[in-house]
Structure 1
Amino acid sequence: MNYKIRAAGKEDCKDVARMIMELAVFEKMPDQVQISHEELERDGFCQNPFFECLVAEVSDEHRSKDGHTVVGYGLYFYTYSTWKGRSVYLEDLYVMPEFRGNGIGKGLMCKVAKVAAEKQCVRLQLAVLDWNSPARDFYAVKGAKDLTDSEGWHFIRFDGLSLDNLVKDAPKDYCHWEMKYIIRAAKKEDCRDVARMIMELAVFLKDPDQVKISHEELERDGFCENPFFECLVAEVSDEHRSKDGHTVVGYGLYFYTYSTWKGRSVYLEDLYVMSEFRGNGIGKGLMCKVAKVAAEKQCVRLQLAVLDWNSSARDFYAAKGAEDHTDSEGLRFLRFAGLSFDNLVKDAPKD
């Protein structure tokens, strides 16, 4: 059948909201959907949109049994890897059942990859439920890597009361425990320190060779007209500088994301404090400050990922009320990168 994939317009939000509910019914959680088409219009078609969306549209002669011509969608947003750089996250990929088997799902996914590549993104990520074997097989055939299987990444979330508690615990500008420090928005000149600590964190995570990002790329991507991320840093006074002479001793790097069930969200890509400064509340302060910044933008959840062997981090987040959605719901992290990402881009359908 004839169909076209195009950028969604504001007028498509009713159809997208309808299909979001259809997808939630399939995933056995329709009661979790709190989003309306009005919120999609507000959040996706504003000056700094929280998401972008593609829709698949068929001709009138092929409209659905219920009279719909918009029969699929791919909703996505831009993210950032402190190891690799610009990335895209595919929040939802859905095609109405009666239109499956015509290449629409593949077309939507490949078109998202092409849009991302045009913005110099280097990978596409998504999550899938472990029981959804058709979806897992679909992505695997296309070359996606299951990071939950291969690397043990767990999907962690703060929302509701646990998020409210983080916001309440956000420190004042200056904090006094055993030492004086400040948590502030990172500046362009902080990027060398942030890049240094990114490498320190990668060494701890046993993957230093994976880091391809430089301080110049952080400057380019975080301090442009439409930044890919925001960052907070923890800075101590000169009298408490590190053994190596550093006063910027921790960072929290994050970006805004979107849930088609709940709405505006924030993702904490990295949370790190230099080892000699741990135990002074700096890590908690950074995380709570990120939550406060997110709440001021009406975000309803804070999400992150943690490796299964990193028990100290998992315990830290659990103690603050986070829920492990890999354990509770079976959410798995998938990634297209390198050749698999390039192949998606090549397979993107013509307009």
Structure 2
Amino acid sequence: MENQVTLTEQELLEDGFGETPFYHCIIAEVPGGDASQDSKVVGFAMYYFTYDPWVGKQLYMEEFYVMDDFRGLGIGSEILRRLSDLAVKTRCTGMMFVVAENNEVSIQYYKRRGAEDLSQEEGWRLYRFDKSSLVKMATPTEE
């Protein structure tokens, strides 16, 4: 879905590695083919922390990806293990994420590991205000 990306590389770097990072990453790498080659990034997870006044801290997994050629090797499981370990060590009460309804492979992957579908179980619906809605609400109205 590269054609849907509107964020610049500079914004991504500033937002993740600036003075106040808005997100964090776990990167999965494999060694290069020989000693002279750099390692190759084959997967990653982007995450940040949220707070729910009912249950406390939550780790929110925004992106999770392993390249096709490296799936089935335990890389994704290791990324999830590290995220889970981080969540436990920072006293999070859970890890939240969204999955596209038509991504059945990912849905089954997460369910095998114990994920609950809150849209069905609890009836939660995902909503968003886009940027134009935010600008409209942020602009004072004259009375």
SS in 2 for 1:72: strand
TM-score (norm 1): 0.38
Q: Report the structure, 1 or 2, having the larger helix content.
A: 1
Structure 1 CA distance for aligned equivalents of residues 59 and 26 of structure 2: 14
SS of aligned partner of 2:57: strand
Deviation string 1:287-324 (CA, Å, 9 cap, x unpaired) is xxxxxxxxxxxxxxxxxxxxxxxxxxxxxxxxxxxxxx
Q: Which runs of 5+ in 1 are unaligned?
A: 1-23, 25-29, 172-351
Query: Which 5+ residue runs of structure 2 have no aligned equivalent?
Result: none
Partners of 1:31 and 1:156 in 2: how far apart?
Answer: 22
Of residues 32, 42, 45 in structure 2, which corresponds to 1:60?
32
- Aligned-partner Cα distance in 1 for 2:49–2:141: 26
> What displacement does 1:115 show?
1.4
After superposition, the C-alpha distances for 1:230-284 in whole angstroms (9 at most, x for unaligned) are xxxxxxxxxxxxxxxxxxxxxxxxxxxxxxxxxxxxxxxxxxxxxxxxxxxxxxx
Alignment of 1:195-274 (within 5 A): none
Structure 2 distance, partners of 1:133, 1:43, is: 31
Matches of 1:87 and 1:170 in 2, distance apart?
36
Looking at structure 1, the residues matched to 33 and 130 of structure 2 have their Cα atoms a distance apart, in angstroms, of: 44
Q: Distance in 2 between matches of 1:109 and 1:90?
A: 10
Q: Note closer, same or farther for the CA distance 1:53–1:156 as it changes in structure 2 (3 Å cut).
A: same
In the other structure, the counterpart of 2:104 is 133
Does the residue aligned with 1:134 lie in a helix, a strand or coil? helix
- 1:160 Cα deviation after fit: 2.7
- 1:151 lines up with 2:129 in the alignment: no
In the alignment, which residue of structure 2 is the partner of 1:268?
A: none
Partner of 1:110: 81
Which residue matches 1:43? Answer: 15
Distance 2:108 2:141 in 1: 42
Bigger radius of gyration, 1 or 2? 1
Out of 42, 45, 54, the position equivalent to 1:71 is: 42
* Distance in 2 separating the partners of 1:93 and 1:117: 19
1:78 alignment partner, SS class: strand
Superposed CA deviations along residues 43-64 of structure 1, whole A, max 9, x for unmatched, are 11122210000000101128xx
Do the aligned residues in 1 keep the contact of 2:51 with 2:58 (CA within 8 Å)? yes
Q: Does the C-alpha gap of structure 1 residues 40 and 170 become closer, same or farther in structure 2, counting only changes over 3 Å?
A: farther
- Contact 2:31/2:39 (CA < 8 Å) preserved in 1? no
Correspondence for 1:120: 91
Q: Which moved more, 1:146-155 or 1:112-121?
A: 112-121
Q: Is the 8 A contact 2:24 2:47 kept in 1?
A: yes
3-state SS, counterpart of residue 153 of structure 1: coil
Structure showing the higher strand proportion among its residues: 1
Task: Report the secondary structure of 1:42's partner residue.
Answer: helix
Q: Distance in 1 between matches of 2:11 and 2:106?
A: 27
Aligned residue identity for 1:127: V
Q: How many residues align?
A: 140
Shift of 1:68: 6.6
CA–CA distance in structure 2, aligned partners of residues 170 and 59 of structure 1: 58
Cα deviation, 1:83-106, whole Å, max 9, x if unaligned, reads: 110111000000011111101111
Identity %: 35
1:80 to 26, 41, 51: 51
What is the alpha-carbon distance in structure 2 between the residues aligned to residue 170 and residue 89 of structure 1?
35
- The two structures, once aligned, show a CA RMSD in angstroms of 2.1
Aligned partner of 1:228 in structure 2 is none
Equivalent residue in structure 1 for 2:113, among 120, 134, 142 = 142
Higher relative contact order (CA 8 A, sep 6+): 1
Aligned AA (2:62): E
